[in-house]
Chain A
Amino acid sequence: MNSKAYNLFLKDFRSELRTRYAINALAMFIIVAISVILFSIGNEKINENLTAGLFWVVIFFTAMSGLSRAFVSEEERGTTLTLQLIASPTTVFSGKLIFNVILVFAMNAIIALLYGALFEDFIIKNFLLFLATFILGNIGLAVSSTIIAAIIAKAGAKGTLYPVLSFPILLPLILTCVQLTLFSFDGTSFEKSRFELAIIVSYDVIMITVSYLLFDFIWKE
Chain B
Amino acid sequence: MSNYYLEVKNLTKYFGRRLIFSNLNFRLSDSGIFGISGPNGSGKSTLVKIIAGIIGANKGEVKHFLDGKEIIPEKIHNHIGFVSPYLVLYEEFSAEENLLMFAKIRGVDYDKSRVDYLFEKFLLLKRKDDLVKTYSSGMKQRLKFIFALMHSPKLIILDEPTSNLDDEGKNSVYELIREEGNKNIVVVASNEKNDLEQCTETIFLENFKQINQ
Contacts and interface: CB of A to CB of B under 8 A. Distances in A.
Interface of A: 3-4, 7-8, 10-11, 14-15, 18-19, 77-79, 81-82, 84-91, 95, 220-221
Closest 4 CB pairs of A and B: A78-B88, A7-B104, A88-B74, A18-B92
Contacts of A7: 101, 104-105
B4 interface: no
Interface stretch (B17-25, B49-57, B185-193): B49-57
A87 B87 contact: no
Contacts of A19: 92
A8 B105 contact: yes
Given A85-B82, A88-B74, A90-B74, A79 B90 contact: yes
B77 A85 contact: yes
B107 interface: yes
B89 A4 contact: no
A109 B172 CA distance: 53
Given A15-B90, A15-B93, A220-B54, A87 B77 contact: yes
A94 to B, nearest CB: 11
B107 to A, nearest CB: 5
Interface of B: 52-56, 74-75, 77, 80, 82, 84, 86-93, 101-102, 104-107, 147
Nearest to A91: B105
Given A3-B104, A11-B90, A81-B88, 10 more contacts: A4-B107, A8-B105, A14-B93, A81-B84, A82-B88, A85-B77, A86-B105, A86-B106, A95-B105, A220-B54
A156 to B, nearest CB: 15
B49 to A, nearest CB: 8
Contacts of B106: 4, 86-87
A4 B74 CA distance: 13
A88 B71 CA distance: 13
B77 A86 contact: yes
A3 B107 contact: yes
A11 B105 CA distance: 9
Given A4-B105, A91-B105, A84 B54 contact: yes
